[in-house]
Amino acid sequence: MPEVDSIPVGNFRYELRFNGHPLQSAGSAGGPQPVAGGAFAECSGLEATMEPKAIREGGQNYGVHQRVGPVTFATVVLRRGMTLNRDLWTWFHQVTLLGAFTHRMDVEIVHLDLDGRTPVRTWHLDRALPVKFKSSDLNARGSEIAIEELHLVHEGLKLA
Protein backbone atom coordinates (compact mmCIF):
# COMPACT_ATOMS: atom_id res chain seq x y z
CA MET A 1 0.00 0.00 0.00
CA PRO A 2 1.55 3.36 -1.04
CA GLU A 3 2.00 6.14 1.47
CA VAL A 4 -0.56 8.95 1.41
CA ASP A 5 2.09 11.49 0.36
CA SER A 6 3.10 9.46 -2.70
CA ILE A 7 -0.36 9.13 -4.25
CA PRO A 8 -0.52 11.27 -7.42
CA VAL A 9 -3.18 13.96 -7.74
CA GLY A 10 -4.97 15.15 -10.85
CA ASN A 11 -3.94 18.35 -12.59
CA PHE A 12 -7.36 19.35 -13.86
CA ARG A 13 -8.92 20.95 -10.79
CA TYR A 14 -7.61 24.35 -9.78
CA GLU A 15 -8.82 27.82 -8.98
CA LEU A 16 -7.22 31.22 -9.52
CA ARG A 17 -7.52 34.31 -7.33
CA PHE A 18 -6.23 37.78 -8.18
CA ASN A 19 -5.71 40.09 -5.21
CA GLY A 20 -5.02 43.80 -5.54
CA HIS A 21 -3.45 45.94 -2.84
CA PRO A 22 -5.05 49.41 -3.06
CA LEU A 23 -3.91 52.33 -0.94
CA GLN A 24 -6.30 53.61 1.69
CA SER A 25 -7.06 57.30 2.16
CA ALA A 26 -4.45 57.70 4.93
CA GLY A 27 -1.76 56.41 2.58
CA SER A 28 -1.27 53.11 4.39
CA ALA A 29 -1.62 49.95 2.38
CA GLY A 30 -4.93 48.17 2.69
CA GLY A 31 -5.41 44.43 2.91
CA PRO A 32 -5.67 42.26 -0.17
CA GLN A 33 -8.91 42.68 -2.08
CA PRO A 34 -10.17 40.09 -4.57
CA VAL A 35 -10.22 41.69 -8.00
CA ALA A 36 -10.85 38.89 -10.44
CA GLY A 37 -10.99 35.16 -10.60
CA GLY A 38 -12.51 32.59 -12.75
CA ALA A 39 -12.51 29.23 -14.35
CA PHE A 40 -9.42 28.84 -16.49
CA ALA A 41 -8.99 25.97 -18.91
CA GLU A 42 -5.20 26.00 -18.67
CA CYS A 43 -2.39 27.45 -16.60
CA SER A 44 1.20 26.96 -17.73
CA GLY A 45 4.58 28.40 -16.80
CA LEU A 46 4.76 27.63 -13.08
CA GLU A 47 8.51 27.30 -13.06
CA ALA A 48 11.63 28.82 -11.57
CA THR A 49 15.14 28.32 -12.93
CA MET A 50 18.40 28.92 -11.11
CA GLU A 51 21.34 29.71 -13.39
CA PRO A 52 24.45 28.25 -11.74
CA LYS A 53 27.74 30.11 -11.76
CA ALA A 54 30.70 28.01 -12.88
CA ILE A 55 33.96 28.84 -11.13
CA ARG A 56 37.20 27.47 -12.53
CA GLU A 57 40.00 26.75 -10.12
CA GLY A 58 43.61 27.03 -11.25
CA GLY A 59 45.34 23.65 -11.44
CA GLN A 60 41.98 21.84 -11.27
CA ASN A 61 41.48 20.36 -14.76
CA TYR A 62 38.66 17.95 -13.93
CA GLY A 63 35.42 19.99 -13.83
CA VAL A 64 34.46 23.32 -12.34
CA HIS A 65 32.89 24.37 -9.05
CA GLN A 66 29.16 25.12 -9.31
CA ARG A 67 27.70 27.94 -7.21
CA VAL A 68 24.20 29.33 -6.85
CA GLY A 69 23.29 32.03 -9.38
CA PRO A 70 20.28 34.24 -10.05
CA VAL A 71 16.78 32.79 -10.21
CA THR A 72 14.45 33.62 -13.10
CA PHE A 73 10.75 32.89 -13.44
CA ALA A 74 8.86 31.81 -16.55
CA THR A 75 5.95 33.78 -17.92
CA VAL A 76 2.69 32.29 -16.62
CA VAL A 77 0.09 31.81 -19.35
CA LEU A 78 -3.58 31.59 -18.41
CA ARG A 79 -6.19 30.42 -20.91
CA ARG A 80 -9.93 30.51 -20.38
CA GLY A 81 -13.09 30.41 -22.38
CA MET A 82 -14.23 33.85 -23.49
CA THR A 83 -16.62 35.38 -20.96
CA LEU A 84 -18.50 38.62 -20.52
CA ASN A 85 -16.35 39.40 -17.49
CA ARG A 86 -13.78 42.08 -18.42
CA ASP A 87 -11.75 42.18 -15.20
CA LEU A 88 -8.57 40.80 -16.78
CA TRP A 89 -8.83 43.07 -19.83
CA THR A 90 -9.42 46.06 -17.54
CA TRP A 91 -6.26 45.20 -15.59
CA PHE A 92 -4.22 44.84 -18.79
CA HIS A 93 -5.68 48.10 -20.10
CA GLN A 94 -4.79 49.97 -16.89
CA VAL A 95 -1.20 48.80 -17.02
CA THR A 96 -0.49 49.17 -20.73
CA LEU A 97 -2.61 52.04 -22.00
CA LEU A 98 -3.21 54.14 -18.90
CA GLY A 99 0.35 53.83 -17.58
CA ALA A 100 -0.56 52.34 -14.19
CA PHE A 101 2.58 50.22 -14.26
CA THR A 102 2.52 49.90 -10.47
CA HIS A 103 -0.93 48.29 -10.54
CA ARG A 104 0.25 44.77 -9.79
CA MET A 105 -1.62 41.88 -8.26
CA ASP A 106 -0.72 38.86 -6.23
CA VAL A 107 -2.07 35.73 -7.86
CA GLU A 108 -2.94 32.50 -6.05
CA ILE A 109 -3.28 29.28 -8.01
CA VAL A 110 -4.96 26.74 -5.75
CA HIS A 111 -4.48 23.13 -6.87
CA LEU A 112 -7.48 21.09 -5.71
CA ASP A 113 -7.79 17.39 -4.98
CA LEU A 114 -9.98 15.12 -7.11
CA ASP A 115 -13.02 16.05 -5.02
CA GLY A 116 -12.65 19.67 -6.19
CA ARG A 117 -12.92 21.08 -2.66
CA THR A 118 -9.73 20.15 -0.81
CA PRO A 119 -6.63 22.27 -1.56
CA VAL A 120 -3.53 20.18 -2.24
CA ARG A 121 -1.10 23.09 -2.67
CA THR A 122 -1.22 26.78 -3.45
CA TRP A 123 1.17 28.59 -5.76
CA HIS A 124 1.68 32.31 -5.08
CA LEU A 125 2.86 34.71 -7.79
CA ASP A 126 4.20 37.88 -6.18
CA ARG A 127 3.50 41.24 -7.80
CA ALA A 128 2.23 39.86 -11.11
CA LEU A 129 2.07 42.18 -14.10
CA PRO A 130 0.12 41.45 -17.31
CA VAL A 131 2.33 41.61 -20.40
CA LYS A 132 0.11 40.12 -23.09
CA PHE A 133 -3.62 39.73 -23.67
CA LYS A 134 -4.78 37.65 -26.60
CA SER A 135 -8.33 37.21 -27.82
CA SER A 136 -9.51 34.22 -29.74
CA ASP A 137 -9.34 34.18 -33.53
CA LEU A 138 -12.76 34.69 -35.04
CA ASN A 139 -13.77 32.11 -37.64
CA ALA A 140 -17.33 31.78 -38.93
CA ARG A 141 -16.70 28.15 -39.90
CA GLY A 142 -15.17 27.15 -36.57
CA SER A 143 -17.07 25.29 -33.86
CA GLU A 144 -14.62 25.46 -30.95
CA ILE A 145 -15.01 27.63 -27.90
CA ALA A 146 -13.43 31.09 -28.05
CA ILE A 147 -10.34 31.20 -25.82
CA GLU A 148 -8.62 34.26 -24.39
CA GLU A 149 -5.09 34.30 -22.99
CA LEU A 150 -3.38 36.40 -20.37
CA HIS A 151 0.41 36.31 -19.96
CA LEU A 152 1.83 37.32 -16.58
CA VAL A 153 5.34 38.09 -15.41
CA HIS A 154 5.99 38.14 -11.69
CA GLU A 155 8.64 38.78 -9.08
CA GLY A 156 8.44 35.61 -7.06
CA LEU A 157 7.01 32.09 -6.97
CA LYS A 158 6.12 30.47 -3.66
CA LEU A 159 4.58 27.11 -2.87
CA ALA A 160 2.37 26.80 0.21
Taking the domains of the chain in order of start, what are their residue ranges?
10-22+33-53+62-159
**63-99 confidence digits (pLDDT tens):** 899 999 999 999 999 887 777 777 888 888 888 877 7
Average pLDDT over residues 30-46: 71
**119-151 confidence digits (pLDDT tens):** 888 999 998 988 998 888 877 887 777 778 889
The CATH number of 10-22+33-53+62-159 is 2.30.110.20
DSSP the chain: ---GGGS---SS-EEEEEEE-PBPTTSSB---EEEEEE--SEEE---EEE-PEEE--TT--S--EEE---EEEPPEEEEEE--S--HHHHHHHHHHTS--TT--EEEEEEEE-TTSSSEEEEEEEEEEEEEEEEPPPP-TT--SPPEEEEEEE-SEEEE-
Highest averaged pLDDT of the listed ranges 5-9, 23-27, 112-116: 112-116
